[in-house]
Amino acid sequence: MSYEIHSREAIEDSISNIKFTIDSIVDNDCLNEYTGKLSEDPVQNLIYFRNGNNWKSEVNTLLDIALRSFAIAESRAPGSGSLSTIILSLLLEDFKLGSSKKERLEKILEKRSLLIDYASSINSLVKKPSLRDITAIFKKYNLEKDIEKSIIYEIKNAKIFTNFEVNRSLREASSIKNGYGHYLKIDVKQLQIAGSKEWKRRNVNTVMIDGVIESVSQINHVLEMAASSKESFVIICKESSEEVNKTVNLNFLRGTIDLIVIETGYSIDYHHLFADISQIFDSDYINIKMGDTISTHIAKLMFKIDKFEIYPEYIKIFSADKDSDRVSRYISDIQSIKNKIGNEDIDEYNKILSSISKRVRFLSSSAVDISIGKRDLTKDPKIIFKLNRFFRSFPDMAHTGIIDLKKSKDRISKEIINKTSRSKFTQREIFQSIVTSFRVYESIIKAEKVFTIEK
């Protein structure tokens, strides 16, 4: 469907409706009729509302513009999407119908100066958080003492890219589990066909082929090495032919070779897998698109993986972490991609964000899985949402610092504290929300006409 708004009057009517909706949603939790759960996330609640309302297309067009900006802000700085709704609501509080173009431009300059002054006033409050600061923030979530103590221990020993994942548990008590290794969810057809539950080996000879293995002759050298040396081998490729699979599977079942072929297919989730593994192990791979031939390069591009665990539906790779600084820089580069891409298509943008998140999880060799039990959920039904936001903010805490808005007397700070029931935020969270809310405000106040054409 294509939306078109032909007049300023229609835009102004839409702005009034949107402001009323944002105010209502920011002030209240919403019940998701599909999941039956309460949500306090304003951006998520606006998305639910957008998908279920019967408003005119003009209103939904402007709401889409705002939601796109909020979602992108949230991806760049956890929590900033929600704060953007609060600040935008404040910017729109003196919105008037029928203002001239000159009056509207003057109002934009006024709001811009307001936000610049606010940003300057709180900039002096930024501080690098100590471990004590982070622990104090975490303790306010008021979990049961045993799990609180265990999580604080993991926080103290975490690396900057350690993955903390919080999920619901069916048990009474909350629990925690450490996970090490580079985890990747992927079907391993060879184990599925063989009926094997697992394949665990150390010092595994590994070859990566970014392309298709079309014939056995292309990997004959590796098959001969595997048969004669009795060592363990893994070949990771985009795809292998039926001939190759039959030969490898038959010899694997006979015990002639200890070799697994993993096919990635062409999913976006595995598009960068060869480059990512190369970074972890400082290795290289055969790139058929660049003219590499498998038979020529297969021996010289073989490398060792310290430990390999392969299961029918996922794999885990273990490294010695000798070059953790290099991998950390690589992860930072990947995360920065989301700040460089455009925002024309929010669905495509979200797919890219999902891909980046999965790559970072794979590259991070440590993970902490937290399962929140019924007792902690009874005390605070929103605890999983709060903890996930807290852990997603870890990199920003380290890179940009935190701000305690209780030390600010500005009205914007008081409104944020009142709406969110918390006072400490990352610097990036605050400043991203300032930028986003102003850009949305400027767009809808300036607009004379809006055209939204679906691709």
Sheet with 175-180, strands from edge to edge, namely: 163-168, 366-372, 175-180
Residue 365 φ then ψ, to 5°: -90, 0
Q: Could you tell me the pLDDT band of residue 78, with boundaries at 50, 70 and 90?
A: confident
State both tokens at 412.
């914007």
State both tokens at 391.
């852990």
CATH topology of domain 3-126+401-452: GROEL; domain 1 (1.10.560)
User: For the CA atoms of 199, 200, 204, 210, what is the dihedral angle to 10 degrees?
Assistant: 50
pLDDT digits (tens, 9 = 90+) for 195-249: 999 999 999 999 999 999 999 999 999 999 999 999 999 999 999 999 999 999 9
State both tokens at 361.
């999880």
Give the 3-state secondary structure of the chain. Answer: CCEEECCHHHHHHHHHHHHHHHHHHHHCCEECCCCCCEECCHHHHHHHHHHHCCCCHHHHHHHHHHHHHHHHHHHHCCCHHHHHHHHHHHHCCCCCCCCCHHHHHHHHHHHHHHHHHHHHHHHCCCECCCHHHHHHHHHCCCCCHHHHHHHHHHHHHCCCCCEEEEEECCCCCCEEEEEECEEEECCCHHHHHHCCCCEEEEEEEEEEEEEEECCHHHHHHHHHHHHHHCCEEEEEEEEECHHHHHHHHHHHHHCCCEEEEEECCCCHHHCCHHHHHHHHHCCCCEEHHHCCCHHHHCCCCCEEEEEEEEECCEEEEECCCCCHHHHHHHHHHHHHHHHCCCCCCHHHHHHHHHHHHHHHHHHCCEEEEEEECHHHHHHCCCHHHHHHHHHHCHHHHHHHCEEEHHHCCCHHHHHHHHHHCCCEEEHHHHHHHHHHHHHHHHHHHHCCCEEECCC
Q: How far apart are CA 392 and CA 287, in angstroms?
A: 35
| Average pLDDT score, the chain | 86
**Alpha-carbon separation of residue 383 from 155, 195, 375, 402 (angstroms):** 17, 41, 11, 21
Instruction: Give the amino acid at 79.
Output: G
End-to-end CA distance of the chain: 9
* Residue 121, number of CB atoms within 10 A of its CB: 14
- Beta strand 30-31 with 303-311 is unpaired
pLDDT digits (tens, 9 = 90+) for 81-135: 989 999 999 999 888 877 888 888 999 999 999 999 999 999 999 999 988 889 9
Q: How far apart are CA 183 and CA 186, in angstroms?
A: 10
Q: Could you tell me the pLDDT band of residue 2, with boundaries at 50, 70 and 90?
A: very low
Q: How far apart are CA 47 and CA 333, in angstroms?
A: 30
Specify the CATH superfamily of domain 183-313: GroEL (3.50.7.10)
* Residue 192, number of CB atoms within 10 A of its CB: 12
pLDDT digits (tens, 9 = 90+) for 145-202: 999 999 999 998 887 678 888 999 999 999 998 878 898 999 999 999 999 999 999 9
What sign does the CA torsion over 90, 95, 101, 102 have? Answer: negative
Residues facing residue 31 across a β-bridge: 38
Out of 33-37, 64-68, 334-338, 437-441, the most confident range is 437-441
- Out of 10-19, 56-65, 156-165, 419-428, which region has the weakest mean confidence (pLDDT)? 56-65
∠285-313-316 over CA atoms, to 5°?
55
State both tokens at 321.
């972490």
Contact (Cβ atoms closer than 8 angstroms) between residue 182 and residue 316: yes
> Which positions ≥6 away from 309 have C-beta within 8 Å?
181, 198, 199, 200, 315, 316, 317, 318
Residue 432 φ then ψ, to 5°: -65, -40
